[in-house]
Structures are given as C-alpha cells and as structure tokens.
C-alpha cells in the first residue's frame, strides 16, 4: 500500500486557496507602500502626508521645489522602476513556464548580449555618455538577438533545449563582437560598463512614456495567455490533448516576453536577478506552480525594483549604487536564505 | 464512437502507420497489442494531433478538426512531471479548458471525487515531483478523467503500478466504461489487457494484423507470428488468456 498517512509537507496555517487569494492583495499593498516610500525618501526628505496628498491631487500637498522634486524627478524614476521590475519578473516567469526550466531568466535567449552589443554600437557612434540612441539600439539588439536565436533553432524551435542552446550560442557570439568593439574603442568601456550594471538615474517622464505602452501591453498579453501557459508545464502531447497548440503558444509567449524584456533593458540597462528571484519567491509563498500567479509576480517585481532603486540612491548618498548591484547584493542572499529555510517545494 | 479510416503516418521517408482502420464502439475497450515499434503509440498520438497523418479520424461520427478536450482525453506513456506542483493543482489542469475555477462549477466536484476514488485525497497537497512512480501515474489518470471526455486514450496506463494498484486503477476506468466511456489503450501486459478489453487489435509494422475478442486473438500461433519466439497461452479460471513468453533455455 502507498503511504496514506504521509504528512503534507506544506504549512497548514494558511490554506492554499487563502494564500492564492491574499497574495495579490499583499503584493499591491506592498507596491503602494514601496512607491510612497521611494518618492518621499532621498537627499531631500519629503513629508509623507503631503506627498500622498499631492499624488492623490488633494489639497494641502507639496509646493515649490518639493513639488518639482516629487513630480518631475522622483515620480517618473519610481514609475519607471516599477514598470521595469514588473516586466522583468513577469517575463522571467513566462520563460520558466515555456522552457519548463526553473532557472530560465528573461535574458535567456540572447536579449542581454544583443542589447549589450546594440548599446555598445550606439556608444561608439556618439560621444561618450547616455545618448537617446542607446535605448533604441539596445531594444533593437535584444529583439534581433532573439529573432536570430529562433532562426538558428529553425525547424526545431519547438524543442526547448534546442532554443536554449541556440540562445547561448548566439549570446556568446554577440558578446564576442561586443568585447572586440570595446577593445577597439576603449573610450566606451566606462559608459558601456555603467549601462550594463543598470541605471534609472536621469529618467524623466519621456522615458516612462516611451516604455509604458510596450510593457503594459506585454503584461496584459502575458496575463491573458497565463491560463493556457499552464498546459506547457505538461508534455507537448498532453498539452495538445487539452486543446493547446504548444509550438504556437510557446512562440507567442517568447515574442511577448522578449518585447517586455527588451523594452526594460532599453530603459534601464541589464538588471539581473529580478526575473528569477521574484517568480520563485511568489510561487513558493502562494504554493502556486501554475502561471496564474503571473500578475502577482509582476506586481511584486515592481515593488522589489522600486525598493532596490530606493536603496541604490540612499545607501551611499549622495553617490548612487547601480541598481543591478543592489538587486544582486540584496536579492542573492535573501534568495539563498529562502531556499535553505523552505527546502522543498520552492521551484 | 471512435473511428480510424486509412490512417497513415510517414516520417522522413519511413512509414510508421500504414493505412490503419480501427473502430471502437461506445462503451467499448479496445487494446492495441504488438511488439515495440509496431506503431501502437503513434495510433494514439495521431488522434490527439501529436503527429501529422493522412486519412480520417472520427469521434461520434464527426471528423476531428481541432482537438476538443471535452471529447477526447489522453494519458501519455511519458508524462512530464511539473516541478513543485501539488497533486490537486496537477489534477485540476485537466479542467483548465473548461473555464476558470470561478466559472467551472463542475470542476471542483469532479476533481475531489476523483482524488478520493484514486486514493489521492489524503496526499493532495504533496508536490507531484516528490511522488513514487505509481502515485504519479494515478495523478495522470485522474487528470485525464476529470475532463469527462467520452473517449479516453491510454498509453501504457499501468506500467508503473504494482499488481493490485493495476487492478484498482483499471477498475476506476472500467466503472466509467460501463457508463459509456470509450477506451482505446496500449498495454504490454496482454494478460491484464485481456481482463479489461473486449477487443484486441494486434499490430505489427504499422498495420493491423488481426483483431477480435481477446480469447480468440490471444492464441499462441497468432501471437508467436507477431512477436516472434515462443509464447505460451493458458486460460485462467474465467476463461481469459494468460500469456507468457517462453524461455528458450529453461532454468534448471
């Protein structure tokens, strides 16, 4: 007989259904709190109450310089951080489902290498420093890299391991070209390096307006696809028997997630770790392995990046730490802690 | 209920299925028998669109244009084991084509009924990746049965189960067959197949060699011709065939 008395290893304090219902609410509350903290704190401390009043358009809000700092400096940066965080976390989760691989991250198919190459080319073409063409080149580089990866995989692009290997191969190729270009143009080393570490400083409303449509549309598409994405956790034949066309769905998800990731990279450089740590954390807390948690994952990713950016500009103020350093520096140990304490069922 | 007409599958120059004609009545249980590579799994995969074919497959007289999970359910020989997913989440995957948990009221009921019937209810919160082969196989069968489709395709449904679990699981399916479920399965264990199916379809090299009631088809001569080598066929107390491969050099 099978051991029927096996003790469920998951905590019984909160039922799975309750967890699934509470998680999105907690994530939204966390995001609002993070947004409020992030716009109020900084070299100039803003009054929380007045800040909230200003944001809600109520009377008694901030005036003068404080108002300008809030609305024109901090708010666009914080909103951009939220959008980028949501995009990276949701596309990481989508890639993990599509490739049935818990280690898949948004940069898997060569987006990072392609965007890095694009940015390097843009820096070489201009005076050193962030120029408007860098995001465009990075975006194009990322999209071209994924398109090339899928073309290399060719007819076997329905086979996840083949796509992964093609992505790794193309990524190595693009990185080689990037390194060669950097060697030939040592003046761009510094700006490229600081771009690769990820940054949100100097982001104004125009940057938000540039990226918001792509990211919001991709997030909506991923949310709508998420129920069918669950079928990709099964084998392709099993997915077909549930009425899903695995190759077509996989391609759609890859295209949408690539669009979101490339946009995020174009806006903020390469910010690591969000795409892996947030999906795992949320799935483990909600006990949902399925893609239904993707909206919660997006909101949590937004909150995480807003807080990471806040840390980046306050910890060593008035200097700034690159946000990519913060996400890895805080994210990695925290993730390892969770991994060790929770043990099973995390993936 | 399910009809295959002249179904042919060719893959890179090789003929895998060569004009298969097959019919299973409503409430019938047909079992595909044959050596490895005979094309049994390909017959099932063609019915769920897993492989391109020529010819026609009909369910209830209607040609299949796109796979409708409310009409056909499938248990794969090699199911994927999703990491970190609980048993109840996994079984509920079979209901996802029928709406969200909020709109699919029937879903919750049928899922909990099947978890209980397959003795999975007490461990439903365990992760499927932590289960034994037999426990997971029951989950896969539960996931297929919650679709409540009139046709069930089973590819080696009992290969990971111990002796009594085989009977328990096949009995769950057989109860549904009595209520009108149509089953088409592959099984290596011909003796076990004979206890449940009313029709044996013996296949070799992508063709149907012979078909008929188990006690007619499962005779030593026909089986030896298909499988090659010596085969002994006895009868059990119910008159059903008991099939053994014969060892050429007996153990002394």
Integer-rounded Cα Rg, in Å, for chain B is 19
Binary contact (B78, A235; C-beta < 8 A): yes
- Select A16-342's CATH number: 3.40.50.300, 1.10.3470.10, 3.90.1150.10, 3.40.50.1000: 1.10.3470.10
Distance from CA of B243 to the nearest CA of A (A): 26
pTM: 0.84
SS (HEC) of B43-92: HHHHHCCCCCCEEEEEECCEECCCCCCCCEEEECCCCCCCCCCEHHHHHH
DSSP state of B219: -
Residue A287: list chain B partners with CB under 8 A. 86
Strands B14-24, B182-186: pairing kind: unpaired
Total count of domains within chain B: 1
- Which of A7, A243, A290, A293 should we substitute to test contact with B (largest number of B Cβ atoms within 10 Å)? A243
Domain extent, residue B126, equals 80-148
What pLDDT shows up at residue A345?
A: 45
Contact between residue B2 and residue B184 where contact means Cβ atoms under 8 Å apart? yes
Contact A240 B68 (CB under 8 A): no
Interface probe, candidates B43, B51, B82, B98, chain A, greatest A C-beta count within 10 A = B82
**Considering the domain boundaries, does residue B130 fall inside one?**
yes
**Cα B238 versus chain centre, distance:** 23
Residue B48 lies in a domain: no
- Residues B226/B36, Cβ–Cβ less than 8 Å: no
How far apart CA A32 and CA A23 sit, in angstroms, is 14
H-run or E-run covering B29: strand B29-33
d(CA A10, CA A16): 9
The pLDDT score that the predictor gives to residue A1 is 40
Residue B36 lies in a domain: no
* Average pLDDT estimate for B194-199: 91
Residue B132 backbone phi and psi in degrees, to 5: -75, 165
Do B67 and A240 lie within an 8 Å CB cutoff?
A: yes
**Are the beta carbons of B125 and A242 separated by less than 8 Å?**
no
- Residues 322 to 341 of A: which have CB under 8 A from any B CB? none
The average confidence (pLDDT) of chain A is: 83
Contacts of B88 in chain A (CB under 8 A): 16
Calculate how close chain A gets to B249, using CA atoms only, in Å: 36
Q: Could you read off the pLDDT of A122-168 as tens digits, one per residue?
A: 888 765 555 567 788 888 898 899 888 888 887 776 777 888 888 88
Gap from A157 CA to chain B (nearest CA, Å):
16
Chain B residues closer than 8 Å to A283 by CB = 84
Q: Where are the alpha helices (DSSP H) in chain B?
A: 40-47, 87-92, 105-117, 133-145, 163-178, 190-196, 214-217, 220-227
Q: Are the beta carbons of B80 and A16 separated by less than 8 Å? A: no
Q: Is B37 a domain residue? A: no
Chain A residues 9-68 with CB within 8 Å of chain B: 9-10, 16
Name the residue among B68, B94, B126 with its Cβ closest to that of A8. B126
Residue in the block written with tokens 């995957």? B93
Compute CA distances B178 → A68, B59, B222, whole Å: 75, 18, 29
**Does B48 contact A102 at a Cβ distance shorter than 8 Å?**
no
| Band of pLDDT at residue B67, cut at 50, 70 and 90 | confident
| DSSP type of residue B98 | G
Contact criterion met (CB below 8 Å) for B60 and B3: no
Q: Closest-CA residue in chain A for B164?
A: A1
Q: Which residues of chain A have a pLDDT value below 70?
A: 1-14, 126-132, 157, 290, 338, 341-347
Q: Does B94 reside within a domain? A: yes
Predicted interface score ipTM higher than 0.90 = no
Are the Cβ atoms of A9 and B130 closer than 8 angstroms?
A: yes
Nearest Cα residue to B222 out of B240, B238, B243? B243
For residue range A275-296, list pLDDT tens digits in order: 988 998 888 887 777 677 899 9
Which two structure tokens, joined as six digits, stand for B31?
Answer: 């079992």
CB within 8 Å of A130: residues ≥ 6 apart: A191, A195, A202
pLDDT at A230: 85
Query: Does any domain span residue B111?
Result: yes
> Nearest by CB to A240, which of B50, B94, B126?
B50
To test the contact with chain A by mutation, choose from B72, B75, B93, B147 the residue with the greatest count of A C-beta atoms within 10 A, namely B93
Burial A61-97 (b: 16+ CB within 10 A, else e): bbeeebeebbbebbbbbbbbbbbbbbbbbbbbbbbbb
């Amino acid at each position: 007989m099978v051991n029927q008395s096996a003790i469920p290893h998951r905590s019984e304090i909160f039922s799975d259904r309750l967890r699934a219902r509470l998680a999105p609410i907690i994530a939204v509350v966390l995001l609002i709190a993070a947004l409020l903290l992030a716009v109020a704190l900084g070299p100039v401390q803003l009054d929380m109450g007045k800040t909230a009043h200003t944001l809600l358009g109520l009377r008694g809000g901030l005036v003068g310089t404080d108002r300008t700092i809030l609305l024109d400096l901090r708010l666009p940066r914080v909103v951009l951080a939220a959008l980028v965080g949501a995009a990276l976390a949701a596309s990481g989760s989508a890639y993990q489902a599509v490739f049935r691989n818990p280690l898949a991250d948004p940069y898997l198919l060569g987006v990072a290498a392609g965007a890095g190459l694009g940015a390097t080319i843009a820096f070489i073409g201009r005076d050193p420093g962030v120029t408007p063409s860098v995001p465009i080149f990075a975006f194009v580089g990322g999209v071209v890299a994924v398109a090339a990866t899928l073309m290399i995989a060719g007819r076997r692009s329905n086979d996840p391991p083949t796509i992964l290997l093609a992505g790794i191969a193309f990524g190595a190729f693009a990185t080689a070209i990037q390194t060669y270009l950097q060697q030939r143009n040592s003046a761009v080393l510094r700006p490229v390096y600081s771009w690769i570490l990820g940054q949100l400083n100097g982001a104004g409303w125009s940057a938000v307006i540039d990226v918001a449509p792509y990211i919001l549309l991709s997030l909506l598409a991923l949310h709508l696809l998420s129920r069918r994405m669950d079928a990709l956790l099964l084998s392709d034949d099993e997915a077909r028997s549930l009425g899903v066309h695995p190759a077509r769905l996989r391609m759609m998800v890859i295209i949408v997630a690539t669009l979101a990731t490339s946009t995020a990279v174009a806006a903020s450089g390469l910010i690591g770790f969000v795409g892996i740590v947030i999906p795992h954390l949320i799935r483990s807390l909600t006990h949902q392995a399925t893609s239904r948690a993707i909206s919660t994952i997006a909101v949590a990713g937004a909150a995480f990046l807003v807080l990471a950016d806040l840390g980046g500009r306050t910890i060593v103020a008035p200097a700034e730490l690159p946000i990519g350093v913060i996400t890895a520096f805080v994210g990695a140990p925290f993730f390892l802690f969770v991994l060790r304490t929770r043990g099973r069922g995390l993936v | 209920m399910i009809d295959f007409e002249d179904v042919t599958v060719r893959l890179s120059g090789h003929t895998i299925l060569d004009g298969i004609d097959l019919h299973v009545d409503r409430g019938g249980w047909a079992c595909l028998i044959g050596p490895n590579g005979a094309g049994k799994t390909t017959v099932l995969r063609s019915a769920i669109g897993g492989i391109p074919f020529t010819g026609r497959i009909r369910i209830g007289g209607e040609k299949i244009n796109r796979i409708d999970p409310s009409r056909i359910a499938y248990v794969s020989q090699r199911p994927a084991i999703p990491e970190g997913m609980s048993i109840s989440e996994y079984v509920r995957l079979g209901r996802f084509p029928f709406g969200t948990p909020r709109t699919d009221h029937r879903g919750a009921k049928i899922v909990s009924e099947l978890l209980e019937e397959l003795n999975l209810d007490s461990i439903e919160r365990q992760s499927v990746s932590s289960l034994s082969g037999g426990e997971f196989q029951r989950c896969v069968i539960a996931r297929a049965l919650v679709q409540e489709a009139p046709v069930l395709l089973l590819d080696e449904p009992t290969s990971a189960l111990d002796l009594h679990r085989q009977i328990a699981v096949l009995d769950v399916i057989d109860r549904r067959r009595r209520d009108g479920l149509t089953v088409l399965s592959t099984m290596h264990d011909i003796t076990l197949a004979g206890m449940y199916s009313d029709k044996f379809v013996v296949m070799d090299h992508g063709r149907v060699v012979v078909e008929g009631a188990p006690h007619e088809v499962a005779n030593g001569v026909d089986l030896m011709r298909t499988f090659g080598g010596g085969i002994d066929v006895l009868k059990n107390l119910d008159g059903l065939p008991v099939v053994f491969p014969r060892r050429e050099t007996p153990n002394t």
